[in-house]
């Protein structure tokens, strides 16, 4: 069903900042868990399928261990390979054991990953705790009471949408705009609209748009020591440090993470592999595609590798 959405400038929730979409998708007295994923109606998905016409797919998943030391003291990939020849069973073959923080490479941030800080609330006013999110076997959120990633996507068959690629890097080079992906370059709405016009893109309801800054491309060419020098604190989707009323703010004042995840119900994808995608888009002159994503089905998950494909 199509949604009759209010104007973005209209206040929606009393006592909350402009742009807060809590309650917008609530139905029959039940609080919504999906946020903007609701816009991916059967009609929108059906239209997106028409983008897959060239029988070409491109993975958008960066290696999980691509960053030696992830930011903010997060744990990097620990990969252990187990040989069955070392076991009493004595046969040739291997298992993997993988330990990973879901924020260390390509991922989706769920709507409980970063809260609106003043209200201490995730999307739609939810206030999950560690004990509620750690849902081991027998403790799953069977009542679907939290907007976690597994409930948001797996309960509705994953994410299928029209992907729209905004190649800021190529556009900046073309127009002699100097910038580094490791500095706080702020990409404006005006920039995005100009790029979309040059790429002949008309945005549609339900689009998932992906912006290339060349961050993962540049970082992937560095060794561990070079990465640490380049990264410091600059590993967020948005410019760091945040600017609050013209002054530098702290990490807990991140603007887009609070607004997109906490207030607007818009999941954020970060650190996706955008090395092959721009070359293909430029070669065929088309910047739209069928996007599919099936995150890990971990009960209570606040983030996950996207397992994303761009299909042309």
Write the pLDDT tens digit of every residue in 71-99: 778 888 999 999 999 999 999 999 999 99
pLDDT at position 151 is 67
Residue 150: pLDDT band by 50, 70, 90 thresholds? confident
pLDDT at position 235 is 65
pLDDT over 80 at 230, yes or no: no
Percent of the chain with pLDDT over 90: 63
18 is written with which tokens?
A: 């402009």
pLDDT at position 116 is 95
Mean pLDDT of 36-45: 96
pLDDT at position 146 is 84
- Greater model confidence, 195 or 253: 195
Q: Read off the pLDDT of residues 140-149 as tens digits, 9 standing for 90 and up.
A: 776 777 888 8
Provide the phi-psi class of 237: left if phi over 0, else alpha when psi is between -120 and 50, else beta.
alpha
pLDDT at position 153 is 77
The enclosing H or E element of 244 equals: strand 243-244
Sign, CA torsion 218/79/234/260? positive
* Full set of structural domains in the chain with CATH: 35-311 (3.50.30.50)
Candidate from 120-129, 239-248, 292-301 with smallest mean pLDDT: 239-248
Average pLDDT, the chain: 90
One-character DSSP codes across 186-242: ---HHHHHHHHHHTT----TT-EEEE--SHHHHHTTS-HHHHHHHHTT--SSS-SSP
Q: How far is CA 288 from the centre of its chain?
A: 18
The strand ranges marked E within 14-55 are none
Mean pLDDT of 210-218: 92
pLDDT at position 4 is 78
Distance CA 235, CA 180 (A): 13
């Amino acid at each position: 069903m199509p949604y009759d959405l209010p104007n973005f400038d209209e206040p929606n929730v009393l006592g909350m900042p402009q742009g807060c979409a809590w309650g917008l998708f609530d139905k029959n007295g039940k609080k919504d868990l999906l946020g903007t994923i609701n816009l991916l109606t059967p009609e929108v998905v059906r239209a997106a399928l028409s983008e897959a016409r060239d029988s070409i797919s491109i993975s958008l998943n960066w290696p999980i261990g691509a960053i030696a030391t992830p930011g903010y003291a997060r744990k990097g990939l620990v990969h252990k390979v187990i040989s069955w020849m070392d076991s009493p069973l004595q046969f040739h073959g291997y298992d993997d054991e993988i330990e990973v923080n879901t924020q260390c490479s390509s991922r989706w941030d769920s709507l409980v990953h970063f809260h609106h800080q003043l209200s201490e609330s995730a999307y739609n006013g939810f206030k999950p705790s560690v004990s509620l999110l750690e849902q081991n076997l027998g403790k799953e959120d069977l009542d679907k009471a939290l907007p976690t990633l597994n409930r948001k996507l797996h309960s509705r068959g994953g994410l299928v949408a029209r992907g729209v690629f905004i190649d800021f890097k190529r556009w900046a080079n073309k127009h002699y705009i100097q910038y580094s992906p490791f500095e706080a370059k702020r990409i404006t709405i005006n920039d995005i609209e100009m790029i979309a016009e040059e790429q002949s893109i008309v945005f549609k309801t339900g689009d998932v748009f992906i912006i290339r800054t060349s961050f993962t491309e540049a970082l992937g060419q560095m060794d561990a020591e070079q990465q640490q020098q380049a990264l410091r604190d600059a590993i967020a989707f948005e410019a760091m440090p945040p600017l609050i009323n013209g002054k530098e703010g702290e990490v807990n004042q991140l603007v887009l993470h609070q607004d997109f995840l906490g207030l607007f119900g818009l999941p954020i994808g970060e650190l996706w592999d955008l090395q092959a995608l721009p070359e293909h888009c430029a070669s065929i002159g088309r910047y739209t595609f069928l996007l599919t994503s099936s995150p890990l089905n971990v009960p209570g998950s606040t983030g996950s590798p996207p397992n994303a494909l761009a299909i042309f």
